[in-house]
Structure 1
Amino acid sequence: MRRTALTFQEVEEATAGGRTTYSVRGKEFASVTKDGTVRLRLPDAEAERALAACPTAEPLVRAGRRVGFQAPLADIDGQHLWSLVMTAWKHRAPRRLAASLTAVVESPVPPGSDLPTGIGRAATRALVNAGLTTLDQVATRTAADLLALHGVGPKAVRVLAATLAEKGLDIAPAEPRDARWDHG
């Protein structure tokens, strides 16, 4: 859940009262309780579909009004969770910011980007959402950083590394381990 929520632009994470919350420009769009219940702020139609798709889900109600849905995180398929979190983020984000995500989803490679098409749409989307639209920007990240982005897998990292090498660049080296803690 954390990795998915932090994929989107301008997300802030906070922990309070046994919950981890995710907000965009001060508006909460998702949270996870300490018992593993995910809560998503969704438009009515999306909340209805989510409730129908997950038998253990319940409406999320605030001040007597349904504002989304909630369900045990373990009961939500990973791809479905990604889609729901994206919908919640778009629902709560300012219009221009949400429109920029819609543009990325429809055409993941922004103008002026030199990201290789061989990494795939999901990886391209993940990189762009993380603010990495050029190979020079990708070169500032480690392989672990890239793999932590939802949608970027080992194949995408290999393609990026090969493309960077063609430009005389490389993926940033991993942080060196502290030798004081390495006793064997």
Structure 2
Amino acid sequence: MTTVTQLGKAALALPEVEEGTHFGMVAFSVRGRGFVSVTKDGRVQLRPPQEETDAALAAHPAGEPLVRTGAPIGFRVPLADIDGKDLNALVRAAWFSRAPKRLAAAQAAAGSPGGDLPAGIGRPATQALRGAGVMTLEQVAQHSRAELLALHGVGPKAVRVLSEALEQRGLALRGDSPMDS
């Protein structure tokens, strides 16, 4: 079961996202353009591109199209009926569809292969870090242990592997010293 907190972590890990409310719902926007919200009855509303919406509808029988003035604009599903991995992918797709083109292009370039993050942190942690714009160990060192653990997909093992890789380079997480690791 996915929670609103997990949804928030996924959304806020993306560039220039702001949390607010929209008609009394928890909502997330990028430069003023809403891309995901949660209704009071616990349904997550996402605005991914149409092809992502169609795939989500096929994959989640409890989901339904989100329609405004007769036109499909997204996907709605009970938050409890979607797992974290699927939700993260849909949040990211919705962000890309609503973000300004230059910001989306910069994020896509940052998320492309490259950087020096160790493979041992795992794919979810790698995706979470890239989603937050962290591509290199030097960028990892600018964050605290708590900040990294707050990213959905980054767990204690990933932080340990990152700390070890930083130590090998004479670096440490913000707030740690290289000798403490």
What TM-score bracket applies, with the shorter chain setting the length? 0.7 to 0.9
Residue pair 2:111, 2:131 contacting (<8 A) in 1 also: no
Cα RMSD over matched residues? 2.1
Letter in 2 for 1:138: V
Q: Report the TM-score, using the length of structure 2 for normalisation.
A: 0.82
- In 2, Cα distance between equivalents of 1:149 and 1:3: 6
Q: CA deviation at 1:66?
A: 1.1
Q: Does 1:7 align with 2:9?
A: no
Higher relative contact order (CA 8 A, sep 6+): 2
- In 2, Cα distance between equivalents of 1:75 and 1:101: 29
> Any idea what the Cα deviations from partners look like across 1:89-143, whole Å, max 9, x if unmatched?
1111122322333334441x3xxx4433432343233223223333333223222
Residue pair 1:30, 1:88 contacting (<8 A) in 2 also: yes
The 5-angstrom pairing of residues 29-108 of structure 1 reads 29-107=35-113
Q: CA deviation at 1:43?
A: 2.1
Q: Does 1:141 align with 2:147?
A: no
Name the larger-Rg structure.
1
- In 2, Cα distance between equivalents of 1:70 and 1:43: 13
Query: Tell me, which stretches of 5 or more residues in structure 2 are unaligned?
Result: 1-6, 177-181
Residue pair 1:132, 1:138 contacting (<8 A) in 2 also: yes
Letter in 2 for 1:132: V
Letter in 2 for 1:122: P
- 1:19 is aligned to 25
Residue pair 1:104, 1:125 contacting (<8 A) in 2 also: no
Moved more, 9-18 or 131-140: 131-140
Write out the 4+ residue segments of structure 1 that deviate beyond 4 Å after TM superposition: none
- In 2, Cα distance between equivalents of 1:99 and 1:32: 27
Query: Tell me, which stretches of 5 or more residues in structure 1 are unaligned?
Result: 175-184
